[in-house]
Structure 1
């Protein structure tokens, strides 16, 4: 293997490692559904979508905080 082969092998491995780093970074930033939602977040979303009323929201929020 000559110097050209060594350089190509180094380039290949550098690109492979860089690709893995980029992929891991992308996966860490990606927000998977339900992954980071707290019960309070879900409650707020239900209230915002009109699934529950203000009285029910306040009661459920109080239950979660206690």
Structure 2
């Protein structure tokens, strides 16, 4: 994904609360989130959800 495409998705998620844009961002980061979840001392599913929640909050803060 190019930087321009990524920024367009972020803008859609921020301004229009576009669910599809947010899902595309989650899919983009999914491999990294799953890899990093191994290093967090909590159940894997909880770690993944926590990271997704933090990512969503970070994006929505603008």
Q: Would you say same fold, with TM above 0.5?
A: no
Larger RCO, structures 1/2 (Cα 8 Å, 6+ apart): 2
Larger Rg: 1
TM-score by length of 2: 0.31
TM-score between both structures, scaled by the size of structure 1: 0.30
